Amino acid sequence: MYEFNYQKASSVDEAKQLHGNAEDPKYMSGGMTLLPTLKMRLARPSDVIDLAGIGDLVGIDVSGDTVTIKAMTPHAVVAASPDVKKAIPALAKLAGGIGDPMVRNRGTIGGSLANNDPAADYPAAVMGLGATIHTDRREIAADDFFLDLFETALEEGEMITSVSFPIPDKAGYMKFPNPASRYCIVGVMVSQKGGNVRVGVTGAGACAFRVSDMENALASNFAPEAVADISIPDTNLNSDIHASAEYRAHLVTVMAKRAVAEANS
Amino acid sequence: MTVKFTTTINGKEVQGETEDRTLLVQFIREHLGLTGTHVGCDTTQCGCCTVHVDGLPMKSCTMLAVHADGKEITTIEGLAKDGELHPMQAAFRENHALQCGFCTPGMVMSSIGIVDRHKGEKLDEKTVRHELEGNICRCTGYHNIVKAVLSASEVMNKG
């Protein structure tokens, strides 16, 4: 790791102030991506601003038709939450499948979304459930948040404070994990709320995206067979030693089918 | 630049002074001389560096030393009490749940986390195998490790 200046914030305002005063700062939440990145010397921030001391950023609230998860809530807490399990079981399942138990004790929803790894799980939940990202300065709709590989709508110094998920009538999540890293080769979250169906895909492209053909088909028939013959083009999909673009395109259909089956079970 | 912090390691208060970038595992091994916590992969995958932070297993190669500020850290050295092995250590010994032993400290720390998460439940082999996904044994000696965790869970749930 290159040298950096460690600073610990105890409130959102203090974090913003520290960020504003530093030359090339970086916020750290759980550090599950940032620390490995620093260790490989792929980043060289002048200052690391630790958000772990901000108690206001941890917690889960279920009220009315919304589940709100504050940004620094670890995956393990989301996965084990009786409220989340009851309101959106697919979301608890998704959180419980990220990384491994030790990573889940430390990694956070805000960190994961701000990082926007193409193979992360949470972007599928945000896209597939139509969540809203709350920051220190505004609200960002799921469809406007993910821009490209590791690129989001967040501005310089903007910090995610919470994420609110509308509670669907039903939802299902399925992922085909990389057997070594547990990252998604492809993950699909489907949800139905009234006549509104969403299909959010992670792992396949540069960032999470929706599949409107599948959403339209599921809106008239919310059953696995409705998406069985819908495939997405493999142009612009990720291709690496783990899976070719063609294979990922195939997996999107398979995972979508299984996610719908799970939502209906 | 250096940071100062206060932490509790295996029940003892420790004043730390490290570089800002020092990892928790380096602090534990090199500053405190507690070399039971191992560095296997250094990339958050193998779990050899697992310690408990406020009772929860975490990978100390992917935390800064200063993250221990105000926390209670337990390492493998802190498990045995009054010369008596922790039930998980005893079960690893009884079941010969190790070959070369390099992954063992991390396996023991993570396995205690598994039993803690399923307090009062009867653990099954499938759950144990699944929840050990963050620990890698390159001797591939998983069979006896799983047996040890199942056996220890019965003792720990009684206690």
Q: What is the CATH number of the domain that holds A224?
A: 3.30.465.10
Q: Which residues of chain A make contact with B64, given a CB cutoff of 8 A? A: 6, 31, 35
Helix (H, G, I), strand (E, B) or coil at A99: coil
Q: What is the H or E stretch that residue A134 is in?
A: strand A132-135
Reading chain A (265 residues) residue by residue, the pLDDT tens digits are 999 999 999 999 999 999 999 999 999 999 999 999 999 999 999 999 999 999 999 999 999 999 999 999 999 999 999 999 999 999 999 999 999 999 999 999 999 999 999 999 999 999 999 999 999 999 999 999 999 999 999 999 999 999 999 999 999 999 999 988 889 999 999 999 999 999 999 999 999 999 999 999 999 999 999 999 999 999 999 999 999 999 999 999 999 999 999 999 9
pLDDT tens per residue, range B3-46: 999 999 999 999 999 999 999 999 999 999 999 999 999 999 99
Q: Are residues A227 and A249 in the same domain?
A: yes
Tell me whether residues B44 and A180 touch, CB distance under 8 A: no
Residue A193 confidence (pLDDT): 97
Q: Are residues A152 and A258 in the same domain?
A: yes
Query: Domain of A41: which CATH number?
Result: 3.30.43.10
Distances (CA, A) of B101 to A9, B40, B145: 40, 12, 11
Tell me whether residues A1 and B45 touch, CB distance under 8 A: no
pLDDT tens per residue, range B135-158: 999 999 999 999 999 999 999 998
A159: domain range?
A: 59-264
pLDDT band at B103 (very low <50, low <70, confident <90, very high): very high
Q: What are phi and psi of B38, to 5 degrees?
A: -100, 160
Tell me whether residues A50 and B67 touch, CB distance under 8 A: yes
CA distance B65 to chain A (A): 11
Q: Which residues of chain B make contact with A34, given a CB cutoff of 8 A? A: none
Q: Which of B11, B38, B9, B6 is nearest to B110 (CA)?
A: B38
Q: What is the H or E stretch that residue A145 is in?
A: helix A142-145
CB A163 within 8 A of CB A110: yes
Residue A182 confidence (pLDDT): 87
Q: Are residues A209 and A105 in the same domain?
A: yes
Q: Are residues A18 and A144 in the same domain?
A: no
pLDDT tens per residue, range A128-172: 999 999 999 999 999 999 999 999 999 999 999 999 999 999 999
Q: Are residues A143 and A189 in the same domain?
A: yes
Q: Are residues A129 and A72 in the same domain?
A: yes
CA distance A42 to chain B (A): 14
Its pTM stands at 0.96
Q: Are residues A17 and A113 in the same domain?
A: no
Residue A13 token pair: 């305002």
Residue B158 confidence (pLDDT): 87
Question: How many CB atoms neighbour CB A119 within 10 A?
Answer: 21
Q: Is A77 exposed, middle or buried (0-12, 13-18, 19+ CB in 10 A)?
A: buried
Beta-carbon contacts below 8 Å between A and B: 76
Whether chain A has a CB inside 8 Å of the CB on B119: the answer is no
pLDDT band at B99 (very low <50, low <70, confident <90, very high): very high
Q: Are residues A12 and A83 in the same domain?
A: no
pLDDT tens per residue, range B34-87: 999 999 999 999 999 999 999 999 999 999 999 999 999 999 999 999 999 999
Q: Are residues A163 and A185 in the same domain?
A: yes
Q: Are residues A11 and A125 in the same domain?
A: no
> How many domains does chain A fold into?
2
Residue B1 confidence (pLDDT): 83
Residue A180 confidence (pLDDT): 82
pLDDT at B159 over 80: no
Residue A80 token pair: 């084990």
Residue A35 confidence (pLDDT): 97
Helix (H, G, I), strand (E, B) or coil at A90: helix
For every residue of B21-41, DSSP letters joined together read T-BHHHIIIIIS--TTS--SS
- CATH of region B87-158: 1.10.150.120
Q: Are residues A251 and A130 in the same domain?
A: yes
* ipTM of the prediction: 0.96
Q: Are residues A10 and A98 in the same domain?
A: no
Fold classification of B2-78 is Ubiquitin-like (UB roll) (3.10.20)
Task: Identify the domain boundary among A30, A50, A70.
Answer: A50
How is chain B split into domains, by residue range? 2-78, 87-158
